[in-house]
Structure 1
Amino acid sequence: MGKELQVFRNFSYENQDASFIVRGLEGLGLAAMARDFPNSGLVNKTFAMTPAEYEDQNYKAIKTMLHFCCQKTGLRVPSDSTGMAMCFDNKMFETLFNSIITETLSGIMVKTQPSQILAMADITNVGVGDSKTFEIESKALPLMQRTSYNSNVTLLDTWTKQSITVVPKPWTAGVTMDYIRILANDFDMGKEIAKINMSMLVAQYRLIVGIIFDSTPINNTPFYQSTWSPGNYVKLAQYLQVFNGTPGVKAYGTLPAFNTLAMLATKGIGFATQDDVIREGYLGRIYGVDSVMIEQATSYSKPLTTANVDSQLIVPDDKIVLLSDVGDKPVKLVRENYVRVIQDDQLSTSQTRLQYSFFNSFDAALATQANYAIQGVQNS
């Protein structure tokens, strides 16, 4: 049975040296995410570092963190595996070490605002145990009627609202760490941090995609078309423009989805347009609607086989989502700004390999005043 480790919450705000270490590890973790997951659509590539710069920052981050934790606990800075074992046998050292790691993970999570998520969802960060309630107002106008002074009038309640509360739920990612390897020249601290943060981001992305690409809430409405036809596609865009009150509409989907759509849209049309599809793989604008390609993503959690490869992809390749250029995104993601850590029972096969479970709470829901549409890419 695991135990929740003691950590000093937000202690870097009160200690300048700790703050410097956490900020450095945040930059290192963000750089590792940009290096190792550049095509996921979930990282900011501006945080990338050159290999030489990254190696230097990784070395400095490890040495600085170990020196800080040892200084605060009265231990000598370890220079070999025996010294590392002595450090991790000290509860205060372990508390400081894990406090730095959890603050780093929390900081990266708050600072990470992936463009692919922001295209479909609004992100709200809340404190531990908090939730977020969204008030959805009616867009209806008072009904203007031909009447007389003695007739009854249909009244509109101008304070009609629907409340949707999103309560973050705990998610966890388990990792192991052989602490004596921290002193090894090839130990990549940024990579270890990046893996945990990416697992959280991928889970959040899967949650959002599962909501917005689900046609169930808009079945039997004019905002869902399971098959393609030019007239219906143009109508979808028009409905969104009218009922959302904005002229801008964009379509979001994967390359295979837009490729299929482009082949349907250019059937029987001149070779020049089909050449664009062959060159780019899709059309950037179809019947007045901009095509915004979103990157496919996966958790990399299963061995790849021919039978299961498609099931490991997060974004459907058989439909696209049409969204208006409005600030109110259909999905609301609410996540806590804190990461907990639990140390599981030590592995019986290794005295130096520790198991940790990192917990972060988040959830998402459909909560919007704006309409959105889903277009299938099968031929009608």
Structure 2
Amino acid sequence: MPVRSRTRRPSPVLVLAAVLAVLVGCSASTAVRPVGAGADLASRIEAFLRGDGTGRHDRVRAVIVDVGGQRRFVRGEPASRGAARSVTKSVMATLIGIAVDRGQIRGVDQTLGELLPEHAATMPAPLRAATLRQVLTMTAGIAGDDTLAARRPASSEDWVAHALALTPRSPPGDRFAYSTAGSHLLSAVLTRATGRSALDYAREALFAPLGITGPTWDADPQGRQKGGTGLALTAEEMLAIGRLYLAGGTHGGERLVSAGWIGEATRAHVATGGAQLPGYGYQWWVGTADGHPAFVAAGFGGQLIEVVPDLDLVVVVRSDVTHGPGAPPQDYAAMVDTVIAPALG
């Protein structure tokens, strides 16, 4: 998910028109189900999604605005399942955190050479010394998405070996470079440390406790789940992940992830250079919403889990990008920033 500049705020004229329509008794949309006194919030969200009339948000399939565990706004089909794209990265990092909590991985200062010793001999020396923390924060120097787009592995090739054999883009710790290949290495690290696939581990350690029962997760030719994409979720399941993070790693009175991991994962370790989401943690983007600290799991075409702890708020957007690119997730982070958070604050 490459970083883009902040999306323009919705037209005040469109917002005013939508609010007036509600006040005179017109229905905003049959797909909108505002809860309680949510009509104004619904009209503002609908005005944002209509935007400039280009249809850039037409691929949105579900939106949920959850405050304190109560649905303030629900749109579309929250139980429908679709590709979560790079939201997968944030889930993958959560599984790494659980493995660290359980002592299956010693810590984030372990190196790739230690974590993937079977590949150590063929890794460039800088990558061999790169730490798990650097992989998590996209600062390990691993080839970025633009590099791999031109040098994709063959269908039968070992994807992990391919990523590790490429010349590092920069020295470890030097700078942020968005790398889905780096996220895929996390899947290899998890599988080697636990002896289980990422999907099997997730079912036991994360999905079942959260009530997530039907996810699918694509794998590479070697059978490892893709670490950076490939997970299919519903908006309801995405909300459960956001609520877990909002609760500091607990769900239903059970601790699934340590509070320490949640805190480290969702603080800015490095600057991204982006306007809407300027920081990056452990596979989570970090920014603000109407001045409140926020963190975001984001995926291609408009997949979003945004958590705003000050407002006890989780916003989920799921978009269908099967037949088109949709809008970038920064659009929906901007919606939280300029529409939802101000309305709730």
State the TM-score bracket (shorter-chain normalisation): under 0.3
Higher relative contact order (CA 8 A, sep 6+): 1
* Largest Rg, 1 or 2: 1
TM-score of the two chains, using structure 2 as the length reference: 0.21
